[in-house]
A and B are shown apart, each in its own frame.
Chain A
Amino acid sequence: QQQVKQSPQSLIVQKGGISIINCAYENTAFDYFPWYQQFPGKGPALLIAIRPDVSEKKEGRFTISFNKSAKQFSLHIMDSQPGDSATYFCAPVYNQGGKLIFGQGTELSVKP
């Protein structure tokens, strides 16, 4: 059973464009909703996260939108840059033990 479904699998965006990655989850026991960024050969790094009592959070060029009733949350990258080229994972957190459950990942390529 796939608890977290992420889309698209890959994304190509022109420099300056908007990148949008979506995540749908099934388990209502998740209580924290982060996005992680991973560069080749590196471990994932926390990019931005949101609590379920908030519908949107913005940090610089990165925004999370959260829809609790639809069990979905998305990552928006504004003014995408070639340095944003990486793999992005949604990874909602269980409310017990703090376990992350990762989506399948989205490989983003930003073309100059």
Chain B
Amino acid sequence: NAGVTQTPKFRILKIGQSMTLQCTQDMNHNYMYWYRQDPGMGLKLIYYSVGAGITDKGEVPNGYNVSRSTTEDFPLRLELAAPSQTSVYFCASSYLEGAGGYTFGSGTRLTVV
């Protein structure tokens, strides 16, 4: 049981480049989330999805896009990377709205130079 898998683990991007952070879960969870964590800070919600084909913005969506074509996958797209997007990105999933505990991936450390 792999849980939530994120790739890549590390990435360095140049300003203006684009990339996709991958997230896959094998627990058949409907709810999936993307968070970013800046040093010494709590996690901020970027986007979330309550099921395949349904996505919505979180607290800090600017500069990002998501899609949810399957239950398992929830990729996060960065267009025109900026230094302000340097952060650690976590994907999470949950089987039950609210009451179920989240399962987090191990994170992607992104640096934009």
Contact = CB atoms under 8 A, between A and B. Distances in A.
A99 interface: yes
Contacts of B35: 100, 102
- Interface residue tally on A, bucketed by range: 20 to 34
Contact of B50 (A44, A51, A97, A104): A97
Interface residues of B, number: 29
Contacts of A105: 40-42
B75 interface: no
Secondary structure at chain A's binding surface: helix, strand, loop or mixed? loop
Contacts of A112: none
B99 A32 contact: yes
Given A43-B104, A43-B105, A45-B104, A102 B99 contact: no
Interface string B72-96: 0000000000000000001010101
B44 interface: yes
A19 to B, nearest CB: 18
A99 B58 CA distance: 8
B26 to A, nearest CB: 16
A101 interface: yes
Contacts of B44: 102
A73 interface: no
Interface of A: 4, 6, 31-32, 34, 36, 41-46, 49, 51, 89, 91, 93-105
